[in-house]
Structure 1
């Protein structure tokens, strides 16, 4: 079958569809274990249709459960009995930010190599097995984790577990496999980064914002280092990190805990535990002292754009309700057609083809808050930047309103329904959280924390974190400015794609 490989650059706050619509994750979402009080509050502002949909999900969903095998593998079970389908995901707590200096890209490279076969199953057999039963598969690498999954009929869960457990232990790599696949990832970089001015700018902005942190190194790697990646590099990375005591198994769908536990013990339970990889200690960014800028001019650029990224706490490093408040702040500033940026820049002033904001908070270390805009017609980047600065100043100086807070929370409540209606999205939320230093309880109590956010807390994070000195602003400009206006409703150039896909 044709297998889609995924390279994620950046953090998982914005997620593209991974399996058509089967793995779409709203920017802010709730878990199936939401407390009744939070559900009652949500019902106050949901339409009858939305309430009916929520009730239908609840009727078919069971209690989320978890256990740990003797070899250290953590297992999470998310029952959903609406259809005889399961999503089977194995998450390794290792990503690009865990790479040693000089081997950037090895985490993503190993993701590719995991499809090269084992002692029991030659290259392609696993993928053919998934295809033959009408299933879907994928894999993705981020700064903080690497994950592999299949979505199949429930009666094929055991088969998927056996295949995945086998390659956790028995991967075979030869130079004959390594060298051609290395060229594949180098070509992937050429297509996705080197020939894409927007991606080049985003890469430069990240490297400037995270000058000390490994988050400043692209997931795909620097080309000069990718060209030297070897079989020894891949095997060392595999042996250190691809062990059950550094992994989480998520099974969502038409299953029971007893069934998953039996199958997990029969398959993954036989994989020996290796030495613990050790604490994930990484260099951190010092407190920023000055605003920074990056300008990229390229002949391929036909319309200028602006993206600005602020260094902010992540879900893991934030204190109190800071991360939830940043989520809500992003929604109020630039979360859609009712946001402040859109109303002001696109509708009222008519100077922007698109403008928005988002919070990338799913990370082990500090994350990012981004704002962006693309000028329309004769408007300039300078006008876009001035208008964005003006809206940020209004929030910092005057704060948000109670009505804005309630509308943002209501959008979250609605997003909750869509996520809970998607077993793969639920699996992804738990997997990402557990791979970035959070717990099942953290995920389950997320809706309560969102409901508890106050106007004062949103205003506080705006004042504290939307400071110029915490930011890097990137300008993308044509080498030879064109008079051609940006199309009405044009797709804004930022944020950069949260997920990049390639056929291989």
Structure 2
């Protein structure tokens, strides 16, 4: 499967464990919690550890002893944006092929064993990483570590396996993209937003390039990137750092380095002057929608404080029902059925901030867009209030305390950050950095990045196309 990066802001929606174990705030006094309390949260708690095996494998352990289960993940620092020109979709294609068996393990046996012990497994590919995970009872951790270590070094592929799986990927593209007007428009939008960057190429790949992928392509990609010195092992759950490290040495420690992938050099994301537009009309579209996108720095490429200010900016602008876009477009203006904004902070290169909305019946996209952009312009000119900034931070705090946490989400937060230039410490200290964001910093990043060099997209029913110039 393909996937987007998980932003650090998303952790506030899934990490009650940290607040309950680290933050000294009782459930009935959350409303009185200060921003200072928020800043004291360390994501993952105080027992998170990291180490590196002799073969270069990075090991991160996140103890969580509330239930006797573990989430085991292996992350590779390679994704769609690392592919050679003309080989789009190769990272995702190899993800599929990694389930085809090894010289020690017949095809399907790994998945069968995980299912037999009541576990779950999956894999996903993004522009910047590929990851594989299993969630099992803790007594089965050594088993999945052994299987995954075997898969890291002993993959065997045949033409009889590769060719049918390529057809599976082509059908996946057909169903998810080619038959979906919204997905097709999204591909075009990304191409225009990132004209000289591999971020403008879909992770699943272009159809004609998928059709040309073969066994040799997959093996070469595997040998170059699926080596322990390019991987991160993350284990979250009812474990100790010592036990995990011992098991890692016993299993992954036997895997030899096969290559040195080298630096992840990519074309610099270039901002093209002027506003650009893309649109798609289709009889399949029942609800029109629009979005605007701006190139902004990620947590990796940003200057100090900028990424955190962009997090708060996106939350104030469109992070929920109390945001400016939602209040003025949906509640007060009664112009839209939905409205919001989001910022993809975790990326190896410059990334995006997106504004989106769908109009109510009788409201044109042109009218909705004009009002939405006026809200942005008001923020640029007049800034945000201290109350808005405090509310945004307090909202993140409340979510961190009350939202139902998930072990696998926690592992994904660390994995996403570590494969996109971040560190364990940077993940853990995110609340402290956000807590320091000021209204002036929010307005500064808005004025710097929400300029007229945006890309707009319009998804329309065929009959409405004439209403948008």
TM-score normalized by structure 2?
Answer: 0.93
Counterpart residue number, 1:151: 135
* Contact 1:105–1:226 (CA under 8 A) maintained in structure 2: yes
Please name the residue that 1:270 is paired with.
Answer: 254
Q: Which stretch of structure 1 is more off in the superposition, 176-185 or 299-308?
A: 299-308
Cα deviation 1:320-356 (Å, max 9, x = unaligned): 1111111111111111111111111111111101111
Query: Does 1:227 pair with 2:222?
Result: no
* Contact 2:71-2:133 within 8 A present in 1 as well: yes
- 1:407-429 Cα distance to aligned partner (Å, 9 max, x none): 10011112323579322221111
The aligned runs of 1:205-244 (5 Å cut-off) are 205-244=189-228
CA-atom RMSD, angstroms?
Answer: 2.6
* Counterpart-to-counterpart distance in 1, 2:385 and 2:28: 19
How many aligned positions are there? 459
Q: Distance in 2 between matches of 1:334 and 1:62?
A: 32
- Write out aligned runs for 1:33-432 (5 A): 39=23, 46-47=30-31, 63-417=47-401, 421-432=405-416
Distance in 1, Cα, partners of 2:341 & 2:95: 31
Contact 2:275 2:455 in 1 (8 A): yes
The alignment status of 1:474 with 2:468, answered yes or no, reads no
* 5+ long unaligned stretches in structure 2: none
1:12 to 6, 10, 27: 6
User: CA separation of 1:72/1:442 partners in 2, compared to 1, >3 Å: closer, same or farther?
Assistant: same
Question: Using a 3 Å threshold, how does the CA distance of structure 1 residues 462 and 293 change in structure 2: closer, same or farther?
Answer: same
Alpha-carbon distance between aligned partners in 1 of 2:412 and 2:17, rounded to the nearest angstrom: 11
Aligned partners of 1:43 and 1:324: how far apart in 2? 27
Contact 2:7 2:413 in 1 (8 A): no
Q: How many angstroms does 1:360 deviate by?
A: 0.8
Distance 1:407 1:206, change over 3 A: same
Pair 1:427–1:11, CA change in 2 (3 A): closer
1:488 maps to none
CA–CA distance in structure 2, aligned partners of residues 91 and 85 of structure 1: 20
Instruction: Describe the SS at the equivalent of 1:468.
Output: coil
The alignment partner of 1:46 has SS state of helix
C-alpha separation in 2, matches of 1:201 and 1:11? 20
SS in 2 for 1:436: coil
Q: 1:386 to 1:45 in 2, by over 3 A?
A: farther
1:306, CA displacement in angstroms? Answer: 0.2
Identify which range, 412-421 or 125-134, moves more after superposition.
412-421
In 1, Cα distance between the equivalents of 2:140 and 2:100?
Answer: 22
- SS of residue in 2 equivalent to 1:307: strand
Instruction: Give unmatched runs, 5+ long, in structure 1.
Output: 1-5, 16-23, 483-504
The residue number in structure 2 matching 1:435 is 419
Greater helix share, structure number? 2
Distance 1:7 1:242, change over 3 A: same
Q: Is this contact kept in 2: 1:77–1:256, CA < 8 A?
A: yes
1:131-150: per-residue Cα shift (whole Å, max 9, x none)? 10111111100000000000
- The alignment partner of 1:267 has SS state of helix
Query: Counterparts of 1:103 and 1:441 in 2: how far apart (Å)?
Result: 35
- 2:17 and 2:383 map into 1 onto residues whose CA distance is 30
Question: For each residue in 1:146-171, what CA deviation from the matched residue of structure 2 results, as whole angstroms up to 9, or x when unmatched?
Answer: 00000100010000000000000001
Q: Decide whether the 8 Å contact of 1:25 with 1:419 is kept in 2.
A: no
1:224-283 residue CA offsets vs partner (Å, 9 max, x unmatched): 100110001000000000000000000000001110011000000000012210000000
Q: TM-score, normalised by structure 1?
A: 0.86
| Distance of 1:190 and 1:27 partners within structure 2 | 33
CA distance in 1, matches of 2:434, 2:8: 18
Q: Deviations over 1:355-397 (max 9, x none)?
A: 1100011100001000001010100100110111110011000
